[in-house]
Amino acid sequence: MIDKGAFKLDFSKVDKLTKEVCIACGAKCCNNIAIEIEAPSNAEYREYIRWYLAHKNVSVFIEDGSWYIEFHTQCKELLPDKTCGIYENRPKMCKDYGYDDDGDINCFISKFPFNYEHEFHSLEEFDEYIAEQNRKRFKKYKKRKPRKKKTTEK
């Protein structure tokens, strides 16, 4: 879980990523790996997500309609002062991260306070979400007007 109290900077006013900003953020992007996954649109994909969530330090979240698995694991190159130990040689992924194609900040802090559409930290949370979705679908289905039976004129 993210400790929102740890942030001492008003990220809504940040317009450039500096070393100070990244340190204040706690190097969030160096503390996890998030990979897009299939939405649980069928039983097979749902079971994958249940399996992911059965593991320690793994969560699943939905952002802009896409599903992601997140491994909460710190990069081995992150130094205690929250700077990168291999800055000049860091992976391209790290070099590219932070801004979108228009040059706007597009990292975790632009999403502060990190209100994902949904975030699951356990298999039970996910099961409850699926049960709720099924309840909603069933309610919607029940509201539908019954179709008239076709009659064949003789």
> What does the binding site for ligand SF4 look like in residue numbers (CB under 6 A)?
17, 21-22, 25, 27-30, 75, 77-78, 84, 86, 90-91, 94, 97-98, 107-109
Whole-number Å distance between alpha carbons of 59 and 78: 21
C-alpha R_g of the chain: 21
Given 3-state DSSP classes, what are the helix, strand and coil percentages for the chain, each rounded to the nearest 5? Answer: 40, 15, 45
* Residue nearer to ligand SF4 on the CB measure, 18 or 41: 18
* Residue nearer to ligand SF4 on the CB measure, 53 or 109: 109
The minimum distance between CB 66 and ligand SF4, in angstroms, equals: 18
The minimum distance between CB 75 and ligand SF4, in angstroms, equals: 3
Tokens of 1: 């879980």
The minimum distance between CB 36 and ligand SF4, in angstroms, equals: 18
Beta strands in the chain (DSSP E): 33-37, 58-63, 66-71, 118-120
Tokens of 143: 């509201």
* Residue nearer to ligand SF4 on the CB measure, 51 or 87: 87
The minimum distance between CB 57 and ligand SF4, in angstroms, equals: 16
Tokens of 120: 């699951």
Q: Which residues pair with 34 in a beta bridge?
A: 70
* Residue nearer to ligand SF4 on the CB measure, 17 or 37: 17
